[in-house]
Amino acid sequence: MIKIKGLTYLFASIAACVSLSACSSVPAASASSNTSATANAVSSNASGIAAEANQMSDINASVQVNAEAFPSCVAGLQARARSEGQSEAMINSTIANLKFVPRVIELDQQQPEFSQTFDNYFSKRATEWRVNEGRRLLKKHSVLLNQLAKEYGVPPQYILSFWGLETNYGSYKGKMSVLNSLATLACEPRRSNYFTIELMQALKLKEKYQFDDDTMVGSWAGAMGHTQFMPSAYAKYAVDGDGDGKADLWNSTTDALTSAANFLQHLGWQRNERWGREVLLPKDFSYSYLGAKQPLALSEWAALNVTQANGQPLPAVDIQAALYLPAGHTGPAFLGYENFNVIMRWNRSEYYAITVGHLADRINGGLPLTVSPPEQPRLSREQVKQLQAKLNEAGFDVGKPDGVLGRNSVAGLQAFQRSKQMIADGFPSPEVFSALGLSL
Ligand SMILES: [Ca+2]
């Protein structure tokens, strides 16, 4: 079990950004609506445009290099398929006819210039439409969903929430050729190994189930069907729920939802446990325990005067929970239980895990968040790098500035905040930038 979970985790972490929901590219931020920051917003926006122009010319060059190398790469893929015992028809017809797709390289290499705020992410995904549609589908598919809950231990609202977030309940499953997308990425040196394995799996699925090319469509990175499974997940966890002899994640809702339940069970879903919950922190909270690596028992959180969002005490249940503050101390606070970690194995994003959990609660009749996510400025990678460099200069070691606020950066930021008697939430707020002598 541990081994399976370890392997799955590896898969999930590599594949974190490949499904439709995971990382839709983020457009460069428009000028800030905060008038006091207008001058800075204009100048950072201008440098953002310049950075974007450089990025596009790098991407165009990369597309050309990859296009030229594609035919010889395909010959290599044919040899690989032969060594794996795939049929001559597959090698000489399907693989021989694979096409290079420039758009896939563009989408793969476009680094968003600005980070996404929690408010921006959450409000686009946990929408009233998704809540209402989820509630309608909860009734419509109640027999199947209750059966899956019994067999796999995953309650109906969670399966619906994944389905809603991945493909809008199957209304948008992606339209790109999975084989061509995977071949294009397999021939791109950066993650060639991973995508070559996924391509070989996709070819085996095609052979096993006799899928035609019109069926095998998905996201630009090869995620497929109602719940956006990569080929290796499809091969391992897809289930023929309706019993027609074929696990078809595009055309059979029963197969797709059964497969999602099976996948979640294998990722370690805890039967009878929630994902976590929104909580309220007391005014004098110390923020000493923050993030996935510093969980406490629920009773310990209760002893720190953390309550449910409605002010009621936390339940007296013996489980571990970690605190997440996706928008800092002015935004909502969440405790994530073990199932939060399971959701992160599906898609390694804290925003995603909170959104899956909250949408599931709403579908199940729950209320909107008690504390609404605040509107916050989007930070560019360059701004985060400057923040990291300043923290290093000030003696709070956060490692080499990379523009990404990882665990070390958050810990360093908290230490800095404590040294200035600021609320130590580890969040890169305008106040933090200002205290470090940086303008936003
Ligand atoms: Ca089936």
Question: The CATH number of the domain where 102 resides is what?
Answer: 1.10.8.350
Residue 247 alpha carbon to ligand 1 centre in Å? 4
Residue 251 alpha carbon to ligand 1 centre in Å? 9
Residue 226 alpha carbon to ligand 1 centre in Å? 13
Tens-place pLDDT, residues 165-179:
999 999 999 999 999
Return the pLDDT at 47.
Answer: 54
Return the pLDDT at 63.
Answer: 92
Return the pLDDT at 50.
Answer: 66
Residue 237 alpha carbon to ligand 1 centre in Å? 13
Assess if residue 166 is contained within a domain. no
Return the pLDDT at 178.
Answer: 98
**Which residue in 434, 425, 436 sits closest to 389, CA to CA?**
436
What burial letters (b/e) apply to 149-182, b meaning 16+ CB within 10 Å? beebebbbbbbbbbbbbbbbbbeebbebbbbbbb
Assess if residue 312 is contained within a domain. no
Residue 198 alpha carbon to ligand 1 centre in Å? 22
388 shares a domain with 255 = no
With a cut of 70, list the residues of the chain below it in pLDDT.
1-52
190 shares a domain with 47 = yes
Residue 214 alpha carbon to ligand 1 centre in Å? 18
Q: What is the pTM of this model?
A: 0.87
Report which DSSP code applies to 189.
Answer: G
Assess if residue 212 is contained within a domain. yes
Return the pLDDT at 125.
Answer: 97
Q: Among 208, 237, 266, give the residue marking a domain's end.
A: 266
Residue 195 alpha carbon to ligand 1 centre in Å? 26
Q: Considering just the CA atoms, what is the radius of gyration of the chain in Å?
A: 23
Distance, CA of 380 to CA of 115 (rounded, Å): 6
Return the pLDDT at 46.
Answer: 52
**Which residue in 436, 327, 440 sits closest to 383, CA to CA?**
440
188 shares a domain with 52 = yes
Residue 362 alpha carbon to ligand 1 centre in Å? 30
Residue 159 alpha carbon to ligand 1 centre in Å? 18
**Residue 21 near residue 76, CB atoms below 8 Å:** no
* Paired strand residues for 335: 277, 323
Residue 170 alpha carbon to ligand 1 centre in Å? 16
Residue 103 alpha carbon to ligand 1 centre in Å? 32
Q: At what angle do helices 253-266 and 338-346 cross, to 10 degrees?
A: 120
Residue 92 alpha carbon to ligand 1 centre in Å? 29
Residue 253 alpha carbon to ligand 1 centre in Å? 9
Q: Residues 6 or more apart from 435 whose CB is under 8 A from it?
A: 416, 420, 422
Return the pLDDT at 55.
Answer: 77
Report which DSSP code applies to 403.
Answer: S
Residue 37 alpha carbon to ligand 1 centre in Å? 56
Residue 210 alpha carbon to ligand 1 centre in Å? 13
Residue 257 alpha carbon to ligand 1 centre in Å? 11
Return the pLDDT at 68.
Answer: 94
Tens-place pLDDT, residues 68-115:
999 999 999 999 999 999 999 999 999 999 999 999 999 998 877 888
Residue 250 alpha carbon to ligand 1 centre in Å? 10
Return the pLDDT at 48.
Answer: 57
Helix H or strand E segment including 307: strand 307-308
* Paired strand residues for 276: 336
Structural domain including 26 reads 2-114+173-266
Residue 407 alpha carbon to ligand 1 centre in Å? 43
Report which DSSP code applies to 171.
Answer: T
Residue 249 alpha carbon to ligand 1 centre in Å? 8
Assess if residue 374 is contained within a domain. no
Q: Among 266, 295, 324, give the residue marking a domain's end.
A: 266
Q: Among 207, 241, 266, give the residue marking a domain's end.
A: 266
Residue 254 alpha carbon to ligand 1 centre in Å? 7
Residue 241 alpha carbon to ligand 1 centre in Å? 6
Report which DSSP code applies to 229.
Answer: B
Name the one residue in this structure whose structure tokens are 């106040």.
431
Distance, CA of 229 to CA of 202 (rounded, Å): 11
**How many folded domains does the chain comprise?**
2
Q: How many residues does the chain have?
A: 440
